Amino acid sequence: MSNLVRIIISCLLLVGTVVLFWFGYWGWGILGILVTILAWVTVFFHEYMLIAQWYFRKQDMAKAESWLSKITNYEKQLIPAQHGYYHLLLGLLESQRAPLQSEKFFKKALSLGLHMDHNVALAKLSLAGVMMAKRNKREAEKYLQEAKRADKNKLLADQIKMMKDQMGLMDKQQFRYSR
């Protein structure tokens, strides 16, 4: 359903809710407010994206992937502000199956724009992990530092510290093998 149709439906629901209040149907009016808010939320946040994010939080990757796969043409179905988040979710899914293949999704998400700092930090931390897997230490360190700067609320501080520790172990192993 296009955003124009969603906006029209939301406006009609709002008018209907006002009419319910006007004629004194307070209970139905309150229910109308809740339905109207839900309709307006789907204008700005696609329902498939919301459901996929919910399944991500529940760690049910199969269902999250099935909901994301229902978005066939993200450029038309999603508002531009959600394009980066769509690719971030695809990258997180791909990192479960083939971590080295997820790099393109994280880079695309960053190039399209992520509005929340912790999501930028998550994408950069994931890119650091991909670069570590590719044995590209310089790029991994760069992305790790950028992730640390973007993580202003310290939501990913433990993961960043763990990644730094793993990089230190990687250095020790390379030193051992070079002898």
Name the residue ranges covered by the structural domains of the chain: 1-44, 46-178
The second-level CATH assignment, the architecture, of 46-178 is Alpha Horseshoe (1.25)
Give me the pLDDT at residue 47, please. Answer: 87
pLDDT in tens, the chain (179 residues): 677 888 899 999 999 999 999 999 999 999 999 999 999 988 888 889 989 999 999 999 999 999 999 998 888 888 888 999 999 999 999 998 888 889 999 999 999 989 899 999 999 999 999 998 888 888 999 999 999 999 888 888 899 899 888 888 776 666 555 55
Which two tokens mark 153? 């609320």
Residue 135: left if φ>0, alpha if ψ -120 to 50, beta else—which one?
left
Give me the pLDDT at residue 172, please. Answer: 67
Give me the pLDDT at residue 2, please. Answer: 73
Give me the pLDDT at residue 173, please. Answer: 67
Give me the pLDDT at residue 125, please. Answer: 93
Hey, what long-range contacts does 122-127 have (CB within 8 A, 24 or more apart)? 122/88, 122/147, 122/156, 123/88, 123/91, 124/150, 125/156, 125/159, 125/160, 125/163, 126/91, 126/92, 126/95, 126/102, 127/103
